[in-house]
Structures are given as C-alpha cells and as structure tokens.
Amino acid sequence: MAGVLALSACGTSATDEDATRAELTGLELDLLTRSGTFTRTNVDLANAESKLISACMKAKGFRYRAEVSAPTTESDEELSLNRAERHERGYGLASQYDSEKDAVGKGTNDAYVAGLSKKNADAYAEALRGGATDFREMRLGGGRNITFSARGCEARSRTSLYGSLDDWVSVSYFPQNLNSELGPRVEKSPKYRRAMAEWRTCMRGKGYTYASPDAAYDQLKAAYRARGVTAASRDREIAVAVADGDCAAEVHVPSTVLALRRAYAQSLPTADKLQLRRLTAIWKTAADKVR
C-alpha cells in the first residue's frame, strides 16, 4: 500500500472562534446528513465523474459506458423509506444469502469486460483503477479506514472534480462518519423514543412485534443465516419491510431522525465543524464546475 493518511481538521483558515460562534449552514447540514440539496448535487457530481471516466478510458483504447442518472423529485423521507424497493426486494437480504449466484456481467461495462481476453481485461482494470501497488488508505477515526486507488481513470476524474484525491475521499466519507456519530444522541432523544413507540404500536396492528426496524432486519438476517433462503422467507422479508416502511411513513420516523440529526450537529466539536465547513466549500466548488 502506497500510503496511509489520517483525516484531520487542518487546512482551513477559519478560526475556532468562527466555528463556535456561527451555526452550521443549511448547505453544511445537507452534506453532513445527506439531505436537502445533497441528493441533486450528488447526482450531478456522479454523472460528471462517470462522463470523465468514460472519456479517459476511451483515450486509453477501452469502451466505458457513462452511467447517467436523472435527479429525483422525492422528498428526503420518501428517499429514506424507498417503499417501491421494499415491495420488490424487502430489505434486500434474500439476495445476500441466496445460493444461486447472479449472472456475471449484467451491467453494460461488466459485459464488455467479460468479453475481453484476460490480458485485455487486466489492462482495462489497470487503466480504470491502477495496479495493486497504487492503493492508499485514509483513516477517518472511529476505527474506519477507506482504501482507494491513486491512479487510473477513476482517480484522474475525481482529482479533476475535487482538486485532489484526498479532498474527494474526505468529502465522500468524512461527513458520513460524522453523521453516524450523532446516532446515539438521536436514539436517546424523547422525540425519537416517542416516534419509535408509535412505530411499534403501528407494527403490532399489522401483526409484528419487533422492537425497532433494526431488530426486524437483524432477526430476518439471522433466520436466513440459520435456514437459508426459501420462498416463504422471501415473502416474510418483503411483508415485514413493507409494514416497517408504511409505519415509519405514518409516524414520520425518517423526518424525526433527520430533524434531530440536523439539530444535534450544531453542537459538534469545533474541529469537526471546521472540517465540515472546509469540505462543504470543496463540494460546492465541484458542483458549480459541472452545472
């Protein structure tokens, strides 16, 4: 591995006084909680990155089909619940434990690579992500490390958008890591506990007695591990996931959680607020480039 970096709040001209005096802005909270303007901005950036990778790979003699997604009009709560997906796949657990493997090369680019000789497929992989010695690691804190390649068309495209790979990986992962640290505070909140009590009442009305959505997920997962995947277990998973989503929508669990996260973020440590402020500026600059 070529190098290991530790992410810190260095590299900003803001002072500690600035961070403690001013509240985090709406844009900073959007990046932190992946809500509000985040979804549209994330789609724009992902589309731009895919197009850059496609052009880079073409210059190296390979075909790469850019994946372009349309922005969604769904609300944060609708996106969080993803009820259409629940009706089709439940929590997506069955596919993880199904003994039948998915066919190789379903995606357009995967199908292209599957048709190459081993020599050309290896060259394609190196053009896209570099070689085995090109990977680096960044430590985000809390025991979480991110590994990424410093070479290849993916790295070049991300550097073009964000200015450096360090900034790309920081924007992509540091806010998520920080947001996850707010979880315990959210779960202790009286508002959250009331919402979950209402969720349990709703679920009992549908015939389920799970303590929480996580408990439902974990119990279904344990059943798959113990007994494998059957038609009945798939049906059970979908039924529970749909009921969970319907009850969460009825009592607005996702909206409650999001409001609490955005509120608690204002009391984050100074160093974290400074880093989030710096990364939001980088994120906005990258988004402005592609619009």
Range from 7-21, 62-76, 239-253 that averages highest in pLDDT: 239-253
pLDDT at 96: 87
How many structural domains are present in the chain?
1
**8 A C-beta contact, residue 105 and residue 114:** yes
Q: Which residues on adjacent β-strands are paired with residue 5?
A: 138
> Residue 6: in which H helix or E strand, if any?
strand 3-6
Range of the domain at 282: 3-290
Q: Which of 151, 164, 176, 171 minimizes the C-alpha distance to 46? A: 171
Number of neighbouring beta carbons within 10 Å of residue 266:
11
Q: How confident is the model over 137-178, as pLDDT tens digits?
A: 988 776 778 899 999 999 999 999 999 999 999 999 999 999
Q: How confident is the model over 121-133, as pLDDT tens digits?
A: 999 999 999 999 9
With cut-offs at 50, 70 and 90, classify the pLDDT of residue 98.
Answer: confident
Classify residue 138 by its DSSP letter.
Answer: E
Q: What is the CA radius of gyration of the chain?
A: 22
- Average pLDDT for the chain: 90
- Determine the Cα–Cα distance for residues 91 and 86; give it in Å rounded to an integer: 6
pLDDT at 99: 55
